[in-house]
């Protein structure tokens, strides 16, 4: 195996994904919010349900419904809070966000 730039005609995994993308770039912020809120609510509700119920028979079902309800709240909140959060980050740093 050699290190260095990719061979001519070879696409890196990131380039392959970008070439096959079906969602227009203008939806990037919406998609980011959708995915981030889904993953965060999945992890948080999973830990919460595990802590409150322990390893019980109904753990996965309780986790699923808790996550679904949590995501229904988290996604709109991320959309509403993101602009204010960007302004705060811009004020606290010298880099544009």
Is the whole model's pTM more than 0.85, yes or no? no
- CA 58, CA 16: separation in Å to the nearest integer? 41
Q: What confidence score (pLDDT) does residue 19 get?
A: 66
Listed in sequence order, the DSSP H helices in 1-96 are: 13-19, 28-53, 59-92
Q: Is the confidence at residue 49, as pLDDT, over 70?
A: yes
Contact 71, 33 (CB under 8 A): no
Q: How far is CA 1 from CA 10, 14, 16, 93, 94, in A?
A: 15, 20, 21, 42, 41
- CA 66, CA 36: separation in Å to the nearest integer? 17
Q: What is the mean pLDDT of the chain?
A: 86
- What are the tens digits of pLDDT across the range 77-97? 999 999 999 899 999 998 766
Q: What confidence score (pLDDT) does residue 92 get?
A: 93
């Amino acid at each position: 195996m050699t290190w260095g730039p990719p061979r001519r005609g070879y696409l890196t995994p990131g380039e392959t994904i970008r070439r096959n993308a079906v969602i227009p770039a203008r939806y990037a912020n919406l998609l980011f919010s959708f995915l981030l809120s889904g993953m965060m609510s999945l992890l948080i509700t999973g830990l919460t349900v595990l802590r409150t119920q322990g390893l019980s028979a109904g753990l996965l079902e309780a986790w699923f419904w808790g996550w679904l309800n949590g995501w229904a709240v988290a996604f709109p909140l991320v959309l509403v809070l993101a602009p204010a959060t960007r302004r705060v980050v811009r004020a606290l740093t010298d880099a544009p966000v």
